[in-house]
């Protein structure tokens, strides 16, 4: 009785080559087609674990944690200064899904600094912002703007404590005019005081008090 022999199914060679090419574990520097460089750990051909990425066009560097090809965990992002020819850290903190998320510090080009919480790459939560003119805002943020309760201290030590909305004073608040020894307490709307009461506050220690004190009612 004749025996029929069927050809044995063989796996294409490129399947084997592809398995060997899959990056997993710690690798030396891998160069992308566009010139970007990555040195670190891999999992299933994706950046995963600890690693450092260098972008060729912007010359920026990220060093820290990765998860399935995206920045996720703790890491620092540095930019190249063409004047000093040195790298300057721009952000140090936590990341999620390739965006700033959690607690972190950002250093801005003009010497400004933000320390606080982030969400989706934007300042959101509680944080402190140091501005170029010497002002300091300490309070709540939402989508990159002061929003909620917070305190703004000006360079001359005058300060506002109260509500904020979309980066402007809004709601109940107090403004301490320490240079004049006065306190305004009232309601604000879009950075404008609408109604309230102005009283003398520490007038005897004020450096530049008004000529006439406010009479008590």
pLDDT above 80 for 140? yes
Residue with tokens 């510090």: 105
pLDDT value of residue 7: 63
Q: What is the model's pLDDT at position 20?
A: 60
| 3-state DSSP of 113-133 | EEEEEEECCEEEEEEEEECCC
Confidence of residue 18 (pLDDT cuts 50, 70, 90): low
- Residue 16 within a domain: no
Residue 203: pLDDT band (50, 70, 90) is confident
Give the 3-state secondary structure of residue 7: coil
Q: Could you tell me if 82 and 129 lie in one domain?
A: no
Q: Which long-range contacts (CB under 8 A, 24 or more apart) does 16-20 make?
A: none
Comparing 201 with 4, the larger pLDDT belongs to 201
The predicted model scores a pTM of 0.83
pLDDT at 30: 87
Per-residue pLDDT tens over the stretch 144-190: 999 999 999 999 999 999 999 999 999 999 999 999 999 999 999 99
- Rounded mean pLDDT of 28-40? 89
pLDDT average, residue stretch 135-146 = 97
Q: Using one digit for the tens of pLDDT, what is the confidence trace for 94-123?
A: 999 999 999 999 999 889 999 999 999 999
Residue that is last in its domain, among 49, 66, 93: 93
Length of the chain, in residues: 217
User: Band of the pLDDT at 25, cuts 50, 70, 90?
Assistant: low
Residue where a domain terminates, one of 93, 120, 148:
93
126 is in which domain, residue-wise? 108-205
Check if the beta carbon of residue 152 is closer than 8 Å to that of residue 173: no
Q: Is residue 129 part of a domain?
A: yes
pLDDT at 3: 63
β-sheet bridge partners, residue 51 = 40, 64
Q: What is the CATH number of the domain that holds 139?
A: 2.20.110.10
**What is the dihedral angle through the alpha carbons of 35, 39, 42, 45, rounded to the nearest 10 degrees?**
20
Interval 200-217 mean pLDDT? 81
In which band, very low, low, confident or very high, does the pLDDT at 141 lie, cut at 50, 70 and 90?
very high
Total tally of structural domains belonging to the chain: 2
DSSP assignment of 131-175 equals -TTS-EEEEEEETTEEEEEEEEE-TTS-EEEEEEETTEEEEEEEE
Instruction: Please report, rounded to a whole number, the percentage of residues in the chain having pLDDT higher than 70.
Output: 88
My answer on whether 75 and 115 are in the same domain is no
Helices and strands in the chain, H and E counts: 1, 15
Task: Report pLDDT for 210.
Answer: 82
């Amino acid at each position: 009785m004749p025996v029929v022999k069927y050809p044995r199914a063989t796996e294409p060679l490129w399947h084997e080559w592809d398995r060997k090419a899959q990056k997993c574990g710690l690798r030396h520097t891998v160069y992308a087609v566009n010139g970007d460089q990555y040195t670190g750990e891999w999992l299933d051909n994706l950046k995963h674990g600890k690693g450092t990425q260098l972008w060729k066009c912007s010359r920026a560097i990220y060093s820290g944690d990765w998860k399935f090809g995206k920045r996720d965990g703790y890491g620092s992002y540095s930019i190249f200064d063409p004047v000093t020819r040195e790298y300057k850290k721009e952000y140090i903190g936590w990341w999620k899904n390739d965006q700033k998320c959690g607690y972190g510090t950002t250093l801005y080009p003009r010497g400004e600094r933000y320390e606080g919480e982030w969400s989706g790459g934007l300042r959101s939560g509680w944080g402190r912002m140091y501005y170029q003119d010497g002002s300091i805002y300490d309070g709540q943020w939402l989508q990159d703007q002061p929003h909620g309760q917070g305190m703004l201290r000006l360079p001359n030590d005058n300060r506002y404590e109260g509500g904020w909305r979309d980066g402007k004073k809004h709601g109940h608040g107090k403004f301490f005019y320490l240079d004049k020894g006065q306190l305004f307490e009232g309601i604000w709307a879009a950075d404008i005081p609408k109604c309230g009461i102005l009283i003398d506050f520490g007038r005897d220690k004020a450096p530049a008090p008004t000529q006439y004190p406010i009479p008590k009612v």
